[in-house]
Amino acid sequence: MTKNKELETYFKLMLAGGSTALYNYVQEHSLLADYKVGDTFSAKDFADKFNYKHGPAEVFLNSLIALGLLEKKADKYGISPVMELLKGNYKNLSAEYWAHLPVLLKTGTPFKRMDAVVDSEKEYQVQVKSLEWMMTPCAELMVEMLSKTRPDLLTKKDLQVLDVGAGSGVWGFNFAYKNKDAKVTLADWPAVLVVAKDTASRKNIIDRVTTIEGNFHESVWPDGIFNMATLGNVTHILTAEANKTLFKKIYKSMAPGGELVILDAYGEVPEGELARALYQMGLTIRTIQGRVFMPEELKPMLLEAGFKTFEFHSLDVIPQSMGMLIAKK
Ligand SMILES: C[S@@+](CC[C@H](N)C(=O)[O-])C[C@H]1O[C@@H](n2cnc3c(N)ncnc32)[C@H](O)[C@@H]1O
């Protein structure tokens, strides 16, 4: 019997290596930079433009289709929407973080401190738009899964949702997209909430959105009103003590029977294993104390805050790394 695990590992690394080499070549030589979505070109156009041999250029373009960077109709190529997106902020796939790895290993000094309260407003102002894109399938699935066992979630007239460390508002807004009467309160820094408010206007839910702007450790929240609260990708940038204090504050703001949903890279979908490990590595590169607190670590803190019962679900959608821990008041 062939040792499949070894073969799997070998092919996984070969594919990762080959994909990275092709992608980096495209970006370093700006091969697709001049094309917009909708522009089309033939393999010959491409080969002539860069003075490449036609045969290898065509094989190269076909491999970029397999990577998802190009699309093909008849014999014409065009860039995919994700290639358009990869011309922006995420162009280098966080290469500068990974380049810092030797320094981190030798000195323990992270690349930057995204968990420092003083820096978080500036840092997250840039990040949240892409986080919205990355977390949307998970947020949609969260609402879908919750509503299966909570029939009134999508129809309840006065559903009040609190989204703490809301960023783009992706978690809270997905309740408002599905329940046309839900009201959402977002707690985050003012500069970060500019992005969320813009989304709320575009999606016509702005009249149901309230913001609590400033440091969420210090801002004043209403007591006992929220039926749902979300805390997405936040516990991993806080210390255990800060998480405990925040859980108590959230508990106080929730209505009896209200539920807090904590979302983080602790799902249990096997296909998400590598994504979870690299996420933790990335956290170690960009924070001092950042680490994913597992549901079993969070539960005692939540019990101490007053929450009584728990439920856990993995979110089996891309990036397959996420899970949701639900704590009920
Ligand atoms: C990793 S992002 C997560 C954003 C969003 N929940 C998501 O999952 O896409 C963490 C968020 O917490 C916010 N945040 C961190 N510390 C904060 C603090 N002390 N006061 C207010 N917001 C804070 C950041 O501005 C950022 O929007």
132 Cα nearest atom in ligand 1: 9
E-strand stretches of the chain? 70-73, 76-79, 160-164, 183-188, 209-213, 226-232, 254-264, 309-314, 323-328
What phi-psi label fits residue 257: left (phi over 0), alpha (psi between -120 and 50 degrees) or beta? left
Find the 117 Cα to ligand 1 centroid distance in Å. 10
Q: Choose one of 173, 234, 237 to mutate for the ligand 1 pocket test, by most ligand atoms within 8 angstroms of C-beta.
A: 234
236 Cα nearest atom in ligand 1: 1
- Domain annotation covers residue 105: no
With 70 as the cut, is the pLDDT of residue 266 above it?
A: yes
The pLDDT confidence band at residue 89, using thresholds 50, 70 and 90, is confident
Q: Are 169 and 210 in a shared domain? A: yes
* Parent domain of 144: 117-328
Q: Are 157 and 293 in a shared domain? A: yes
pLDDT in tens, 170-214: 999 999 999 999 999 999 999 999 999 999 999 999 999 999 999
**C-beta of residue 128 within 8 angstroms of C-beta of residue 120:** no
Q: Are 271 and 228 in a shared domain? A: yes
Find the 166 Cα to ligand 1 centroid distance in Å. 6
For position 34, which CATH number holds? 1.10.10.10
**C-beta of residue 211 within 8 angstroms of C-beta of residue 186:** yes
pLDDT of residue 2: 58
Instruction: Identify whether 300 is preceded by a cis peptide bond (ω within 30 of 0).
Output: no
Of the chain, the percentage scoring pLDDT greater than 70 comes to 97
pLDDT in tens, 96-136: 889 999 999 999 999 877 667 667 777 777 788 888 999 99
- Domain annotation covers residue 109: no
What is the count of structural domains for the chain?
Answer: 2
Q: Are 167 and 297 in a shared domain? A: yes
What residues line ligand 1, using a CB cutoff of 6 Å?
A: 117, 120-121, 124, 128, 131, 135, 165-168, 170-171, 188-189, 192, 215-217, 232-234
Q: Are 147 and 56 in a shared domain? A: no
Q: Where are the alpha helices (DSSP H) in 2-116?
A: 4-28, 43-50, 54-67, 81-85, 95-99, 101-107
- CA–CA dist 249, 259 (Å, integer): 13
End position of a domain, from candidates 90, 109, 139: 90
Q: Choose one of 124, 212, 218, 283 to mutate for the ligand 1 pocket test, by most ligand atoms within 8 angstroms of C-beta.
A: 124
- CA–CA dist 227, 153 (Å, integer): 9
For position 141, which CATH number holds? 3.40.50.150
State phi, psi for 283 to the nearest 5 degrees.
-60, -40
What is the pTM (predicted TM-score) of this model? 0.92
Find the 310 Cα to ligand 1 centroid distance in Å. 24
- CA–CA dist 241, 246 (Å, integer): 9
